[in-house]
Amino acid sequence: MTAPSLKPLSSALQPHIRSVARLPVRLADGREASSTIHSFNGLADGKEHVALRFGDHDADAPLVRVHSECLTGDALGSARCDCGPQLEESLRRLDEEGGYLLYLRQEGRGIGLYAKLDAYRLQEQGYDTYAANRALGHADDERDYTVAAEMLRAMGVSRITLLTNNPDKKAQLEALGIEVVGVRPTGVFQGTHNLPYLEAKVRHTHHTIDLPGRRRDD
């Protein structure tokens, strides 16, 4: 029996932009930035991820921030993490330089909101953020950046300068065919409540966070 030949996906089934709209953005300092917000069809996980584009010029390797959703940090001002300040910083830098913010619906490093809140309870009992995930039956980090690569390609972007302190983002995007020509670190947003969280990110997943009092080779 002859195996059927495989046909390439039609362009309608490939990940593609479904809509673009203007989105004025209020920055943390009160200024207003201009952006366009893009939605997509055909992404691998079927979720409603969005991209914001800042600036009108087409850079060879635009600045890109891949930001995973954090309801508690981004919207509610939680001091347990650095997600909110990272998002604010990213919006400011993208307004200044142009580029893209990819906002991915991967709450709690991919485990979901309620599981993240369960992990908070375990952290109050002495677990760090990664040990809490494992105690709940999850991996340290369950995020998959396939959709980020799909979104970039749908917008015609294949070479980027990545804004991150997470080496896994660079590694995954490169494995998915996105050329990362440079990496710029995010700022260090250390506070009373998030220091254990930041230390755990450095210790477990080698984030490039220069914490005061910590040697580079710790």
114-150 confidence digits (pLDDT tens): 999 999 999 999 998 889 999 999 998 899 999 999 9
210 assigned to active site: no
User: Does the annotation list 81 as a binding residue?
Assistant: yes
Radius of gyration over every alpha carbon of the chain, rounded to an integer in angstroms: 18
User: Does the annotation list 69 as a binding residue?
Assistant: yes
The per-residue pLDDT of the chain, averaged, comes to 88
> Given this model, what pLDDT does residue 211 score?
74
User: Does the annotation list 96 as a binding residue?
Assistant: no
**pLDDT (tens digit per residue) in 151-170:** 999 999 999 999 999 889 99
User: Does the annotation list 64 as a binding residue?
Assistant: no
| Tokens 């230390």 -> residue | 199
**Would you list the domain boundaries of the chain?**
16-106+144-190
Cα distances (Å, whole numbers) of residue 94 to 51, 55, 83, 102, 163 = 12, 8, 16, 11, 10
- Catalytic pick from 82, 93, 118, 143? 143
Helix (H, G, I), strand (E, B) or coil at 33: strand
User: Does the annotation list 129 as a binding residue?
Assistant: yes
Q: Taking residues 182-203, what's their average pLDDT?
A: 80
Q: What is the dihedral of CA 88, 94, 95, 98, to 10 degrees?
A: -170
CB atoms closer than 10 angstroms to residue 215: 6
Looking at the DSSP bridge assignments, the partners of residue 41 are: 16
**pLDDT (tens digit per residue) in 88-119:** 999 999 999 999 999 999 999 899 999 999 99
Architecture of domain 16-106+144-190: 3-Layer(aba) Sandwich (3.40)
Cβ atoms of residues 131 and 98 within 8 Å? no
- Catalytic pick from 134, 141, 144, 215? 141
User: Does the annotation list 157 as a binding residue?
Assistant: no
143 assigned to active site: yes
Whose CA is closest to 109, among 141, 131, 84, 139? Answer: 141
pTM: 0.87
Q: How far apart are CA 103 and CA 18, in angstroms?
A: 16
User: Does the annotation list 164 as a binding residue?
Assistant: yes
